[in-house]
Amino acid sequence: MSEVTSSKIQSTRVGMDAAAIKQSILEHLVHTQSRFPDVASESDWYNALAHAVRDRMLERMMVTAKTYKANKSRTVCYLSAEFLPGPHLANNILALGIWQEVQEAVAQLGLDFESLLEEEVEPGLGNGGLGRLAACYMDSMATLKIPAIGYGIRYEFGIFRQEIEDGWQVEKTDKWLSYGNPWEIPRPRLRFNVHFGGHTEQFKDIDGILRVKWIPEWRVIGVAHDTPVMGYGVKNTNLLRLWSSEAAESFNFQAFNTGDYYGAVNEKVTSENLTKVLYPNDEPEAGKRLRLEQQYFFVSCSLQDMVRIYLQSGDPLDQFHHKYTAQLNDTHPAIAIPELMRLLVDRNQMDWDTAWHVTRNTFAYTNHTLLPEALEKWPLDLFKKVLPRHLEIIYEINSRFLDEARMKIHGLNGHLEKLSIIEEGARPQVRMAHLAVVGSYKVNGVAELHSELLRQNVLPDFHALWPDKITNVTNGVTPRRFMLLSNQPLAHLLRERIGCGWVTDLDSLHKLEALADDPDFQQQWQKVKRRNKERLARHALAATGQKIDPDSLFDVQVKRVHEYKRQHLNLLHIITLYNRLKDNPGLDIPPRTFVFGGKAAPGYFMAKLIIKAINSVAEVINRDPDMDGRLRVVFFPNFNVKTAHCIYPGADVSEQISLAGKEASGTGNMKFALNGALTVGTLDGANIEIREEVGKENFFLFGMTEAEVSALQQQGYHPQDYCQNDPELKSALDFLASGYFSHGDATLFRPLVDNLLNGDPYKVLVDYRSYVDCQARISEAYRDRQEWTRMSILNVARMGKFSSDRSIQEYTNNIWKIASVDVF
Ligand code: GL7
């Protein structure tokens, strides 16, 4: 098409003024939705608006692709089994810089902008922090003009929708695709074969070189679906490319002809099952065959795609690692290492040493967990059934690696066992973390403490072998979504007082320090918080039917429900306050509302019991007239990115109370503090760095250090001692066990209490006293509203470090060595 024609298309379809946008919406209503305005539903209008916005993004996406291609830009491939982008519409409108114009266009059409935004069903393609981090990093890479492709899985069903019935979590399927997805562009012609099972055979090629052929047993096809990811205030628009599985033959005619109708579609059903559903375990326990298949499926499609793009340049494959760096988001995509070896050696006849050089310089690995049960391992027998050729390649990698290690650590044979990618034993296993470390040029943890514990405890032998390999990149979050978009009252105030620079340069929040003592500014700050609390109260009422009072202190814990995160410690404090108020009705404490939110893995009994306990305690406390509004507890159902938008800005206190040494980083802790909540927390994960930044006088610290936790573990933990020596703790536990909160049923919460009293690995009872006393300091501090507000302002002012832009800048400089590319 000539340049003239294409620029004509641009000017008529993608104007940025209100009139052009309005016109676009109407055109899409008719030509995409096939509706006329009189009968259009809210959902039709949402789709029309989404398409109007999308048109404007696609333009940029194509210019970006063209620029990157012309420049032969080095590219980051972010390989992640999870991406949790959150609702797209508002974020994209902000990134395009057309917020006012869209509002105007929508108003002219007589529509309500807020309710259109509400129509969007978010893609819940992740479990929690890990998937959300991937989405923040996609945002920052585009904003920092780094060429990047996010590769992942297009799950048909994302994380389940949580409903609460009789206090229990009930899981409902998440049908996010039911009404279509205007943000994705299906690429039905961009498809790759992915093979599974079978066996391998050796043969000699025409040069007499011994090679291996994989004779697989079955295959599926991966089809690409692209979602554009726009940078903020720049033209760069990167790609999120998700793969969905299709059957190789959608209909088996042989079976059909013999009358076996069900057999005829069976293969289609099995193949499509591969990307049907996201495994709903946060910090997962490995061992499920379908999960291994999912991992290999998306990794294989992604690498084949990378090779395809690479070969277009005409460059030889032995330079592949100069064009690409691939970041492994945890071990879920670690199978990429043997897969790239296979593509280079088996498919492209590269010699092993060259292929290994390329592979080892392509991948970098981020570890996200210290929990031993979450470190992925695959039983050898299972692995061999699914990926026989990859197992052979892993054996070869391992044997060469152990030779290298043997020479370096001369004579220390014992260490080799600890280093090996294969764990011997009754049921030998492939250790995916070891594979990831051996096959990568850099490894990083996600907070200072976490990286140090990786070096000292999880991977000490690798650290001894390669002292420069394990590094740290502390996590960050995007200020676009988690301030500008979700906290508009604060964004307006900031714009008036310090301008808008912070949106892409979060350190400039420092300018707020000068205003922290200004009474006038403090008052405006309080007004902002008040508005956000009112909004949270409205949402809580709609979601739970519970009224909460914005005049009370909002104390919030939202995150996955897991014993290590210790929601039950929070609950013991609530019961303690309740007991105090019952025993001493005149007690003067500032009224508090405790807000909880978070999903439990469907198979995690204790986590689900904790949810039930929270709701049961809430039920009793909320209807006890003696509490008289001084204590309220609500469980906000279905915590996700959308609900997070209204929860973080409405919090006064942020609960970050994991057992020290268990939370790799946390990112919710950052979102709260960025929105002016004060943290009550342990010295765990990124809490430590947040405290360093905001100042220890502006952070409520309690609990054991990681060193103390380890020492106690060595020495032997006797929870009952803590209970016996602390009457308030004993009483809180007795109450929970007694049936007081469970309509007299003294068995319901017994497992929870028994667990706390008998060898609880998360040592809740040790930190109880220090937590409860710390909470008393919080209550006292909250009485002095001026001082509280000052602390809140200082928290925001000093959170610049925790922008995902800073994290991506560090990846870029220290790991990826990649340059930004301007797109005009
Ligand atoms: C996690 C960690 O638990 C969390 O602390 C960290 O912030 C996040 C992102 O790095 O990764 N690891 C993990 O498996 N999940 C996480 O959220 C699910």
List, as one string, the DSSP characters of 763-818. Answer: -HHHHHHHHHHHHHHHHHHHH-HHHHHHHHHHHHHT-GGGBHHHHHHHIIIIII--
Q: Does the pLDDT at position 3 exceed 70?
A: no
Q: Report the separation in Å between the CA atom of 450 and the middle of ligand 1, taken as the mean of its atom positions.
A: 11
Please tell me the residue having the least CA distance from ligand 1 atom 7: 666
**Judgement on whether residues 468 and 529 belong to the same structural domain of the protein:** no
Closest CA to 92 of 202, 192, 240: 240
Contacts of 534 (CB under 8 A, 6+ apart): 550
Q: What is the pLDDT of residues 326-358, one digit of tens each?
A: 999 999 999 999 999 999 999 999 999 999 999
Q: Report the separation in Å between the CA atom of 127 and the middle of ligand 1, taken as the mean of its atom positions.
A: 9
Q: What is the pLDDT of residue 288?
A: 87
- The structure tokens listed for 130 are 């890990």
**Judgement on whether residues 586 and 643 belong to the same structural domain of the protein:** yes
- Give the residues surrounding ligand 1 with Cβ less than 6 Å away: 127-130, 133, 282-283, 368-369, 374, 446, 475, 663-667, 685
- The structure tokens listed for 679 are 């943290």
Catalytic residue status for 471: no
**Judgement on whether residues 470 and 410 belong to the same structural domain of the protein:** yes
Residue 823 lies in a domain: no
Helix ranges, 120-167 (H): 129-143
Q: What is the pLDDT of residues 690-716, one digit of tens each?
A: 999 999 999 999 999 999 999 999 999
Please tell me the residue having the least CA distance from ligand 1 atom 14: 283
Please tell me the residue having the least CA distance from ligand 1 atom 4: 666
Give me the residues paired with residue 186 across strands. 225
Q: What is the pLDDT of residues 616-660, one digit of tens each?
A: 999 999 999 999 889 999 999 999 999 999 999 999 999 999 999
**Judgement on whether residues 648 and 681 belong to the same structural domain of the protein:** yes
Beta strand 700-701 with 218-230: parallel, antiparallel or unpaired? unpaired
Other C-beta atoms closer than 10 Å to the C-beta of 58 total 16
| Rounded distance between C-alpha atoms, residue 122 and residue 130, angstroms | 17
pLDDT band, residue 1 (cuts 50/70/90) = very low
Beta strand 429-431 with 377-379: parallel, antiparallel or unpaired? antiparallel
705-709: long-range contacts at Cβ-Cβ below 8 A with a sequence spacing of 24 or more?
A: 705/660, 706/449, 706/453, 706/660, 706/661, 708/660, 709/659, 709/660, 709/661, 709/763
Q: What is the pLDDT of residue 4?
A: 44
**Judgement on whether residues 500 and 642 belong to the same structural domain of the protein:** yes
**Judgement on whether residues 114 and 141 belong to the same structural domain of the protein:** no
Ligand 1, closest atom to CA 129?
17
Q: Do residues 429 and 423 make contact, with C-beta atoms less than 8 angstroms apart?
A: yes
Residue 238 lies in a domain: yes
Helix axes 488-498, 519-544, angle to 10 degrees: 160
Q: From the candidates 368, 450, 455, 798, which is the catalytic residue? A: 368
Ligand 1, closest atom to CA 127?
18
**Judgement on whether residues 470 and 490 belong to the same structural domain of the protein:** no
Q: From the candidates 480, 560, 790, 806, which is the catalytic residue? A: 560
Q: From the candidates 342, 434, 529, 671, which is the catalytic residue? A: 671
- The structure tokens listed for 12 are 């008529």
Q: Report the separation in Å between the CA atom of 133 and the middle of ligand 1, taken as the mean of its atom positions.
A: 8
Least confident of 13-17, 134-138, 567-571, 614-618: 13-17
Which helix (H) or strand (E) segment holds residue 556: the answer is: strand 553-558
Ligand 1, closest atom to CA 374?
14
Q: Report the separation in Å between the CA atom of 276 and the middle of ligand 1, taken as the mean of its atom positions.
A: 23
Q: From the candidates 667, 679, 682, 812, which is the catalytic residue? A: 667
Catalytic residue status for 368: yes
| Rounded distance between C-alpha atoms, residue 112 and residue 655, angstroms | 35
Residue 824 lies in a domain: no
Catalytic residue status for 565: yes
Give me the residues paired with residue 634 across strands. 595
DSSP state for residue 236 in the 8-state scheme: -
Ligand 1, closest atom to CA 663?
5
Q: Report the separation in Å between the CA atom of 55 and the middle of ligand 1, taken as the mean of its atom positions.
A: 35
The DSSP string of 547-582 is: ---TTSEEEEEES---GGGTHHHHHHHHHHHHHHHH
Which of 368, 604, 659 to mutate to test ligand 1, by most ligand atoms within 8 A of the CB atom?
368
Q: Do residues 360 and 397 make contact, with C-beta atoms less than 8 angstroms apart?
A: no
Question: What mean pLDDT comes out for the span 424-442?
Answer: 97
Q: What is the pLDDT of residues 288-300, one digit of tens each?
A: 899 999 999 999 9
Q: What is the pLDDT of residue 520?
A: 98
Q: What is the pLDDT of residue 556?
A: 99
Q: Report the separation in Å between the CA atom of 565 and the middle of ligand 1, taken as the mean of its atom positions.
A: 12
Q: What is the pLDDT of residue 410?
A: 76
State whether residue 740 is helix, strand or coil: coil
Q: What is the pLDDT of residues 68-95, one digit of tens each?
A: 999 999 999 999 999 999 999 999 999 9
Residue with tokens 């989404």: 50
Residue 789 lies in a domain: yes
Full-model pTM = 0.97
Q: From the candidates 562, 565, 568, 599, which is the catalytic residue? A: 565
| Rounded distance between C-alpha atoms, residue 387 and residue 264, angstroms | 26
**Judgement on whether residues 80 and 23 belong to the same structural domain of the protein:** no
299 burial type by CB count under 10 A (0-12 exposed, 13-18 middle, 19+ buried):
buried
Please tell me the residue having the least CA distance from ligand 1 atom 17: 129
Which of 83, 369, 562 to mutate to test ligand 1, by most ligand atoms within 8 A of the CB atom?
369
pLDDT band, residue 311 (cuts 50/70/90) = very high
Catalytic residue status for 288: no
Q: What is the pLDDT of residue 285?
A: 67
Which of 138, 159, 285, 446 to mutate to test ligand 1, by most ligand atoms within 8 A of the CB atom?
446
456 burial type by CB count under 10 A (0-12 exposed, 13-18 middle, 19+ buried):
exposed
Question: What mean pLDDT comes out for the span 551-575?
Answer: 98
Residue 362 lies in a domain: yes
**Judgement on whether residues 459 and 489 belong to the same structural domain of the protein:** no
**Judgement on whether residues 538 and 589 belong to the same structural domain of the protein:** yes
Least confident of 9-23, 736-750, 805-819: 9-23
Q: Report the separation in Å between the CA atom of 663 and the middle of ligand 1, taken as the mean of its atom positions.
A: 7
Q: What is the pLDDT of residue 5?
A: 44
Structural domain total, the chain = 3
Q: Within 13 A of 730's CA, how many CA atoms are on the CB side?
A: 8
| Rounded distance between C-alpha atoms, residue 812 and residue 706, angstroms | 30
Least confident of 7-16, 400-409, 611-620, 763-772: 7-16
**Judgement on whether residues 383 and 249 belong to the same structural domain of the protein:** yes
Ligand 1, closest atom to CA 664?
5
Residue 805 lies in a domain: no
pLDDT band, residue 12 (cuts 50/70/90) = low
Catalytic residue status for 72: no
Q: Do residues 233 and 823 make contact, with C-beta atoms less than 8 angstroms apart?
A: no
| Rounded distance between C-alpha atoms, residue 77 and residue 306, angstroms | 9
- The structure tokens listed for 671 are 């979102």
Residue 821 lies in a domain: no
pLDDT band, residue 34 (cuts 50/70/90) = very high
Q: Report the separation in Å between the CA atom of 361 and the middle of ligand 1, taken as the mean of its atom positions.
A: 25
Q: Name the residue range of residue 463's domain.
A: 72-87+122-474+810-816
**Judgement on whether residues 469 and 615 belong to the same structural domain of the protein:** no
Ligand 1, closest atom to CA 82?
18
| Rounded distance between C-alpha atoms, residue 152 and residue 244, angstroms | 9
Catalytic residue status for 8: no
822 burial type by CB count under 10 A (0-12 exposed, 13-18 middle, 19+ buried):
exposed
Q: What is the pLDDT of residue 286?
A: 65
CA distance between the termini of the chain: 20
Ligand 1, closest atom to CA 282?
18
Closest CA to 197 of 220, 167, 221: 220
ipTM reported for the complex, 2 dp: 0.98
State whether residue 442 is helix, strand or coil: strand
Q: Report the separation in Å between the CA atom of 427 and the middle of ligand 1, taken as the mean of its atom positions.
A: 28
Residue 736 lies in a domain: yes
Q: What is the pLDDT of residue 11?
A: 54
CATH number of the domain bearing residue 501 = 3.40.50.2000
* pLDDT, mean over the chain: 95
| Rounded distance between C-alpha atoms, residue 796 and residue 671, angstroms | 10
Q: What is the pLDDT of residues 233-278, one digit of tens each?
A: 999 999 999 999 999 876 666 766 777 777 777 778 888 889 999 9
Q: Report the separation in Å between the CA atom of 666 and the middle of ligand 1, taken as the mean of its atom positions.
A: 6
Ligand 1, closest atom to CA 475?
10
Q: Does the pLDDT at position 746 exceed 90?
A: yes
Instruction: Please give the single-letter amino acid code of residue 483.
Output: M
Q: Do residues 224 and 300 make contact, with C-beta atoms less than 8 angstroms apart?
A: no
